[in-house]
Amino acid sequence: MNLSGNRFLVIGRAGMDLYADPPNTRSEDATQFSASLGGSSANIAVALARHGGSCSLVTCVSDDAVGRFCLNQLDHYGIDRRHVRAVGGEARNSLAVVETRIEDHQSVIYRNGAADFEMSEADVLGIDYAAYSALITTGTVLAAEPSRGAAFRSFEMARAAGLPLIFDVDYRPYSWPSPEVAAQTYSRAAAQCDVIVGNDVEFGFMAGDYSKGLDKARSLVRNGAGIVIYKMGEGGAITITPREEIRSGVFPVRAIKPTGAGDSFLGGLVAALAAGFSLRDAVLRGSACAAIVVSRVGCAPAMPTTAELEQFLATHPSPNEA
């Protein structure tokens, strides 16, 4: 897979995260919160930018103070937002109230009338897809119309321009009208993509049987995907290609929260592939990025730079392969 150019088109939401402060405070006990950029696609774009990638985000934000906060944050992280549209009316930006704690962790997500679901085909038609190295999206963008139709239209246009499609499953049940619609839509999307990343629960959900998730992941490769990464939490990951399966472990760290790991993993993985690392090493670097993020406050602000990643790898032994 050729990712030369290191320039990525990322489709999906940008939101505001409010973290109870100081760390280890329960949300219901908090009297102050720290604000940062959130949303899976925005987090992935930040992760890539921290490694020197150039990223353009495609989404909608609310035409209000929270939406403008997200635009300011995208500017802060150097994310191109020429394809981000502000929408008025009753649409509201994605908002997460989150805790920096592991035990009994609570994340409260507000997605009622989500502005990012207002992304339409008009938002994706005018993009110069050939200017990018790959299209990256997360499953959240598919949960409602018109965003779903717009995303599938962007898949078609990216494919016509020769771009690889990279898909993070990112299943959030609260965003979907039913599990059946979600499973069908995810399977349709995954069948079109070159790289699919998800966890064991997500692949099991797509298979319709949680015991058959790995079978589902393998079937996607048999049917044309180049790379499928089946994550198993503390059990590591299985990376599946048409030629081999690579089993890898995770870096043991003192985690202070569970959020942001998946976004950091994907950003680190794609950045490493774009830099010419082998797939095995790219997965290792993605895993290191995930370990770094769960040991820091926030999601977007916790994404490591390449220098921080190299320092981490130099001071932490590589996890043994299973």
Lookup: tokens for 187: 């399977």
What is the phi/psi pair of residue 96, to 5°?
A: -125, 130
Mean pLDDT of 114-135: 97
Check whether 59 has a pLDDT greater than 60: yes
Q: How confident is the model at residue 320, as a pLDDT? A: 61
Closest CA to 199 of 234, 175, 165, 225: 234
State the pairing for strand pair 80-87/54-62.
parallel
Closest CA to 213 of 195, 235, 233, 232: 232
**Residue 202's pLDDT band (cuts 50, 70, 90):** very high
Cβ proximity of 52 and 84 under 8 Å: no
Closest CA to 131 of 54, 33, 37, 217: 54
Q: SS3 helix, strand, coil % of the chain, rounded to 5?
A: 45, 20, 35
- C-alpha 225/C-alpha 241 separation (Å) is 8
Q: How confident is the model at residue 183, as a pLDDT? A: 92
**Residue 99's pLDDT band (cuts 50, 70, 90):** very high
* % of the chain residues with pLDDT over 70: 99
Burial class of residue 211 in the structure, from the number of CB atoms within 10 Å of its CB (0-12 exposed, 13-18 middle, 19+ buried):
exposed
Tens-digit pLDDT profile for residues 289-313: 999 999 999 999 999 999 999 999 9
Closest CA to 46 of 17, 10, 16, 18: 10
Q: Classify residue 92 by its DSSP letter.
A: B
Q: CATH second-level architecture of 7-12+40-60+116-315?
A: 3-Layer(aba) Sandwich (3.40)
**Residue 78's pLDDT band (cuts 50, 70, 90):** very high
Burial class of residue 222 in the structure, from the number of CB atoms within 10 Å of its CB (0-12 exposed, 13-18 middle, 19+ buried):
exposed
- C-alpha 174/C-alpha 107 separation (Å) is 13
State the pairing for strand pair 107-110/237-240.
unpaired
Tens-digit pLDDT profile for residues 12-30: 999 999 999 999 999 999 9
Check whether 50 has a pLDDT greater than 50: yes
**Residue 321's pLDDT band (cuts 50, 70, 90):** very low
Check whether 131 has a pLDDT greater than 90: yes
Domain residue spans in the chain? 7-12+40-60+116-315
Lookup: tokens for 233: 């939490």
Helix orientation angle between 213-222 and 200-207, rounded to the nearest 10 degrees: 80
Check whether 322 has a pLDDT greater than 60: no
Mean pLDDT of 189-208: 95
Order the strands of the 227-231 sheet from edge to edge.
80-87, 54-62, 7-11, 134-138, 165-168, 195-199, 227-231, 237-240, 245-248
State the pairing for strand pair 95-98/15-20.
parallel
**Residue 3's pLDDT band (cuts 50, 70, 90):** confident
Cβ proximity of 261 and 286 under 8 Å: no
Mean residue pLDDT across the chain: 96
Q: How confident is the model at residue 34, as a pLDDT? A: 97
Closest CA to 3 of 198, 193, 165: 165
Mean pLDDT of 60-64: 98
How many residues can be counted in the chain? 322
Check whether 257 has a pLDDT greater than 80: yes
**Residue 1's pLDDT band (cuts 50, 70, 90):** confident
Mean pLDDT of 213-236: 96
Lookup: tokens for 165: 């499609």
